[in-house]
Amino acid sequence: MPIQLEICIDSVASALAAQEGGADRVELCDNLMEGGTTPSAGMISLVREKITIGLQVMIRPRGGDFLYTDEEYEVMKRDIQAAKELGADGVVFGLLRPDGVIDKERCNELIRLARPMNVTFHRAFDMVKNPEQSLEDLIELGVDRLLTSGLHATVSSGKKVIKQLVDQSDGRIEVMAGGGVRLHNIQQLVDETGVQQFHASGRKTQDSDMIFRNDKVQMGIIDNQEYSVKVVDVDLIKAFRKQLSSI
């Protein structure tokens, strides 16, 4: 199977750009500055209408840790059902217990609700206490895919752990590298870890079309963001696709 490329997106424009660039699927999120949260029903619905490639939907009720209250867990269950009804191909989530192990009981229930969609356990995995045991837990649960940076800030610094996970998985679960995937490090990651799936953002900053601008007001916590937006760069995704196809 060719090396797979998943692009993280937060808009219809980025979904279309990822598809045009040659991505195999997208992971649709909201609030990417917080690592991604659940997108709206309207966003899921319209992205599904506009693209034919795979659509994965983030199921994460808030930013922060992955220890959820009963109410947050209930939200996740309802969001999974909504994603299924709106035509998503898969959902992406991760739940931990206070001691840094996979919350198998809750994950099992969410997986049951998600089927027949596929299930990805996201980078909550990078916060676990014991990656070897946690990988076996995910395999036992029947999770289809694991997204990880190898328990480090980036895939480059976590590549030894990613290799260990790929070797340990032995084809029982798909291991996808994500977190700092760049054109310059893909070849090295494939060579040194054996990973066959990549998760990237591939975004560029696009200036607003607004003519009148009030620079005295700031709506968000990040400076100078009112008149720009980040969108997936078609040319960059094409470059990713070309490089992966040559490996």
* Domain boundary assignment for the chain: 4-246
Q: Kindly report the CATH class assigned to 4-246.
A: alpha beta
| pLDDT value of position 1 | 75
The 10s digit of each residue's pLDDT in 197-225 is: 999 999 999 999 989 989 888 877 767 77
pTM of the model: 0.94
The 10s digit of each residue's pLDDT in 5-24 is: 999 999 999 999 999 999 99
Pairing type for strands 197-200 and 4-9 reads parallel
User: If you average pLDDT over residues 110-138, what whole number do you get?
Assistant: 98
Q: Which residues of 138-175 are buried (b: 16+ CB within 10 A; e: fewer)?
A: beebebebbbbbbbbebbbebbebbbbbbeebeeebbb
Supply the mean pLDDT for the chain: 96
User: If you average pLDDT over residues 82-90, what whole number do you get?
Assistant: 98
User: If you average pLDDT over residues 146-161, what whole number do you get?
Assistant: 98
| pLDDT value of position 196 | 97
